[in-house]
């Protein structure tokens, strides 16, 4: 049984259940009422604005039951019921300030030891088995990286992966882009050179948040793919050099790309982006597209470069990377706000042909939430 008491002349409701307790403000409860006058029963969208809420919101009375409470508001006598489980899931009466650089909830950092545990599933299983898709998406959310096998080995086969959770995000490269050696390439990805681990397209605003790379041919000598957990790299920098970490988090870098005619992309964002509570939110690291740094104070520039150099060295450390070689019909998916990808250089003998495309992380989270709600 839930026990309830009113405090601060009805402006605060305190609930006790077992050994735990939580508090809610009257204004918060009124704003989050679940009745049909406040939220559309069909889509759950709010039917009132914050201006419609009573300015002096107080609770006149509360009744408790086995599975919830019913609140009566003083201003107009409106009665609203709240489920106990719902209140527990949305409680905010707890310390919320994270240590700068803490991981987002529900994520887990990894390094090279993750090689034997990479989330992996067959495309056919993901298309036909709801539980398999739910588990794969949950792992992708947790680690920011997962692999898929048994794709169609044909142009556009990678779109089947995106169709599992969302939509392709088209860019100036098109709906998809080719990753193979070209003469006079518009991007270094189209050469046989090795590429340092990086996040893609940091010069876009907003930046694509998901990338899919699928293999059609790979008989070249070399060209292994690598991924690095940018959150793990940022935390390692924080632990070694807190001041350097703060410099990269508190000052913006600039990224730019000048490609074909009519394309001039620029963005201004920190290399390490933190949420207001201090948790890691995004990593932007791309040595090929970084522009002149002009947002760092003069006296801090040497220390900023030292931190930038150290972060680069951490990212390049083999102890941080998971390395693999894709075979035709295989693909990998990365959270482009977190996981950096790279490749080893490869020779002119044999062929290496990958196709890539972008999507957005909200599709992953939405599809996963819908699957979890279905049980």
Query: What's the CA dihedral at 132, 134, 139, 141 to 10 degrees?
Result: 150
The structure tokens 């790279």 sit at: 342
pTM for the predicted model, two decimal places: 0.92
Q: Band of the pLDDT at 185, cuts 50, 70, 90? A: low
Helices of type H across the chain: 26-31, 84-89, 123-128, 130-143, 159-162, 230-240, 242-250, 301-316, 361-374
Cβ neighbours around 33 below 10 Å, total: 20
The answer for residues whose C-beta is within 8 angstroms of residue 327's C-beta and 6 or more apart is 215, 218
**CATH (residue range 3-89):** 3.30.2020.30
Q: Is 246 exposed, middle or buried (0-12, 13-18, 19+ CB in 10 A)?
A: middle
| C-alpha 216, offset from chain centre | 27
What are the tens digits of pLDDT across the range 202-252?
999 999 999 999 999 998 888 899 999 999 999 999 999 999 999 999 999
> Which is nearest to 69 in space by CA: 16, 18, 4?
4
Percent share of the chain, pLDDT over 70: 97
3-state secondary structure of 25: strand
Q: What is the pLDDT of residue 183?
A: 40
Decide if pLDDT at 182 tops 80.
no
Check residue 72 and give its pLDDT. Answer: 98
pLDDT at 193: 76
CATH class (in words) of the domain with range 112-374: alpha beta
Distance (Å, rounded) from C-alpha 64 to C-alpha 129? 42
Output the six-digit token pair for 164.
Answer: 């599992």
142: three-class secondary structure by DSSP: helix
- What is the residue extent of each domain of the chain? 3-89, 112-374
Bridge partners, residue 122, by sequence? 149
pLDDT for residue 96 is more than 80: no
- Alpha-helical regions (H) of 84-224: 84-89, 123-128, 130-143, 159-162
How confident is the model over 78-104, as a mean pLDDT? 92
């Amino acid at each position: 049984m839930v026990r309830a008491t009113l405090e601060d002349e009805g402006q605060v409701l305190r609930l006790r259940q077992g050994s735990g307790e939580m508090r809610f403000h009257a204004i918060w409860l009124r704003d989050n009422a679940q009745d049909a006058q406040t939220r559309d029963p069909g889509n759950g969208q709010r039917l009132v604005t914050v201006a419609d809420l009573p300015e002096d919101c107080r609770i006149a009375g509360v009744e408790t039951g086995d599975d919830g409470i019913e609140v009566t508001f003083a201003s107009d006598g409106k009665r609203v019921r709240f489920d106990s489980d719902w209140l527990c899931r949305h409680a905010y009466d707890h310390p919320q300030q994270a240590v700068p650089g803490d991981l987002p909830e529900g994520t887990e950092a990894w390094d090279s030891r993750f090689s034997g545990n990479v989330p992996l599933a067959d495309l056919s299983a993901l298309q036909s088995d709801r539980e398999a898709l739910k588990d794969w998406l949950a792992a992708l959310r947790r680690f920011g990286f997962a692999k898929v096998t048994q794709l169609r080995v044909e142009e556009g086969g990678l779109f089947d992966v995106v169709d599992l959770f969302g939509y392709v995000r088209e860019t100036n490269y098109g709906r998809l882009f080719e990753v193979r050696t070209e003469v006079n390439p518009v991007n270094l990805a189209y050469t046989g050179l090795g590429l340092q681990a990086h996040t893609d397209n940091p010069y876009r605003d907003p930046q694509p948040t998901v990338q899919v790379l699928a293999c059609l041919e790979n008989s070249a000598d070399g060209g292994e793919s690598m991924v690095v957990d940018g959150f793990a790299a940022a935390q390692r920098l924080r632990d070694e050099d807190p001041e350097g970490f703060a410099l990269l988090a508190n000052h913006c870098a600039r990224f730019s790309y000048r490609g074909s005619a009519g394309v001039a992309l620029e963005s201004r964002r920190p290399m390490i982006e933190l949420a207001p509570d201090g948790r890691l939110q995004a990593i932007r690291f791309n040595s090929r597209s970084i522009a002149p740094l002009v947002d760092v104070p003069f006296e801090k520039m040497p220390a900023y470069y030292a931190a930038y150099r150290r972060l680069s060295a951490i990212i390049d450390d083999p102890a941080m990377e998971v390395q693999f070689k894709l075979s035709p019909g295989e693909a990998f998916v990365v959270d482009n706000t977190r996981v950096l990808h790279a490749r080893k250089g490869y020779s002119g003998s044999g062929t290496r042909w990958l196709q890539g495309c972008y999507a957005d992380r909200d599709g992953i989270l939405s599809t996963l939430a819908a699957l979890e709600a279905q049980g």
